[in-house]
Amino acid sequence: MQRDIYAYKCKKCGHLHYPYRMVCRGCKDNEHNEFDPVPLPRKGKILTFTRVHNLPAEFDVAVLSLGIVELENGLRILGQLAMEQPKIGMAVEGKVEIVRRAEYEKNYGMVFYEA
């Protein structure tokens, strides 16, 4: 089954949030927490990225590329970059995968591949 990561859309003003927020940043007036979950789009482009070394043991890899990706709907999310040579502006497509393995938990996140 294909997993999704969800953004939260304010029912009052339509502002999208990711990750979840208690108060809408658009209308600041969502006291009833009325948000519709909407799956994040898969396609986007790399805005910026960094290479991370010396990761904790629960990561499977020695070096990780992390990028901020602007998705088709304008949301910006932090994700793992799977390609060897990321470039700013590169078109990418995300898959939802386990991004960190630890004994007691599995964390799903978006991993981006060159589109």
| Interface with Zn ion (CB under 5 A) | 10, 12-13, 15, 24, 26-27
Cα separation, 98 vs 82, whole angstroms: 13
**DSSP-based three-state secondary structure for 114:** strand
Q: How far is the CB of 19 from Zn ion (least distance, A)?
A: 16
Closer residue to Zn ion, CB minimum distance, 27 or 47: 27
State the Cα angle at 33 between 30 and 39, rounded to 5°.
110
Q: How far is the CB of 22 from Zn ion (least distance, A)?
A: 12
Q: How far is the CB of 29 from Zn ion (least distance, A)?
A: 7
